[in-house]
Amino acid sequence: MVNNPKAGQWYNDELFFSNAYQGLPKSARNLFHCLRNELRFDKKLNGGRRYLNNGDVSYTIIQFRQKFGTTSETYIRARNQLIKVGLIKQTYRGGYGSGSMAKYKILALTYLPRSEERWRNYPDKNWESDIPKAKGLTIGKETRWKKGQSGRNIKSQPIQSNPNGVFTP
């Protein structure tokens, strides 16, 4: 996490005034800024910037919660909104053990080819299908009640009659 008060990000007018950026809630703008701050570039490159870690950028829920005092759900909604409008793309899911963090590629940088800058096509096109779905919901799928089932046994106990003709449970 970058804590350098002199660090910053420059957004060109085309990005800043785009439908994709202007439609973002404050939490999504904050997350986008934090993700961009995680970029590292080659300082020796003459005449431009080459980002060394675009595609491996990570900013965790815990970092976001500590920085902005929000809930985990706010982070998830902000991330999903950034993916939907085409400003970021998830390259690695994460969550597979200690240190396994989700990684993202930022699609709003000056050196990227226009074909990779998805945000330019928003709102005509969105990337809602790229939003990661919750995993682990397949447990017990075979044993779930089917439509119309109540879960109640129709014959809870066999009914027997005695010699007097009286039914007993």
List pLDDT tens digits, range 43-99.
Answer: 776 556 677 888 899 999 999 999 999 999 999 999 999 999 999 999 988 877 788
In a domain, 142, yes or no: no
In a domain, 55, yes or no: yes
The span from the CA of 100 to the CA of 116, in Å, is: 26
In a domain, 155, yes or no: no
What is residue 99's predicted lDDT score, i.e. its pLDDT?
80
Task: Name which of 128, 131, 86, 78 is nearest 107 in CA terms.
Answer: 86
What CATH number corresponds to the domain at position 37?
Answer: 1.10.10.10
- pTM for the full predicted model: 0.74
Task: Name which of 76, 67, 62, 66 is nearest 33 in CA terms.
Answer: 67
Q: Which residue has the higher pLDDT, 139 or 34?
A: 34
Which of 91-95, 148-152, 160-164 shows the highest mean pLDDT?
91-95
DSSP, res 105: E
In a domain, 153, yes or no: no
In a domain, 39, yes or no: yes
Q: Does 167 score more than 90 pLDDT?
A: no
DSSP, res 121: G
What is residue 98's predicted lDDT score, i.e. its pLDDT?
81
Which of 26-30, 112-116, 160-164 shows the highest mean pLDDT?
26-30
What is residue 96's predicted lDDT score, i.e. its pLDDT?
78
The answer to whether the CB of 21 falls within 8 A of the CB of 81 is no
Number of domain units in the chain: 1
For residue 73, the enclosing domain spans 13-133
The span from the CA of 156 to the CA of 59, in Å, is: 55
Share of the chain above pLDDT 70, in %: 77
Question: What totals of helices (H) and strands (E) does the chain contain, helices first?
Answer: 5, 4
In a domain, 100, yes or no: yes
Q: Does 163 score more than 70 pLDDT?
A: no
In a domain, 30, yes or no: yes
In a domain, 80, yes or no: yes
